Amino acid sequence: MTKYKELFTHKNGKLYWKQSKGRQAAGSEAGTNHGDGYKTVRIDGKAVYVHRIIKEMTTGKPVKNELDHRNRNRADNRPSNLKAATRTQNNLNRKFKKK
């Protein structure tokens, strides 16, 4: 968690770099969207979901379970929109495609 606070700041559900890193300028939004609505950043070679980082920075505690987006919008990473959930709870809140 300390590492996250060294690397990032967050505001309104978005994550920003504190320092320049590679092609990313300090103050620019962090994260790559992979087309499924979730954003990830690479830390020490490992992809980490932006919503998990924001939740951990907000609560000060490691995120152990899954996180559910209350409004089902995966791009809405405001702390008030994120809640801890089991896999079953998270699956119950999914949007299903009509056949």
User: Domain limits at 47?
Assistant: 2-92
Calpha distance 33→76 (Å, rounded): 12
Distances (CA, A) of 19 to 5, 29, 94: 11, 11, 36
Calpha distance 90→2 (Å, rounded): 27
User: 86: which 2 tokens?
Assistant: 């089991």
Single pTM value for the model: 0.86
What total number of domains does the chain contain?
Answer: 1
Please report whether residue 48 resides in a domain.
yes
Residues 1-23 have pLDDT tens digits of 678 999 999 999 999 999 997 88
Please report whether residue 22 resides in a domain.
yes
Please report whether residue 97 resides in a domain.
no
- 79: domain CATH number? 3.90.75.20
Please report whether residue 43 resides in a domain.
yes
Q: What is the mean pLDDT of residues 25-30?
A: 94
Please report whether residue 58 resides in a domain.
yes
**What are the φ/ψ torsions at residue 46 (nearest 5 degrees)?**
-115, 135
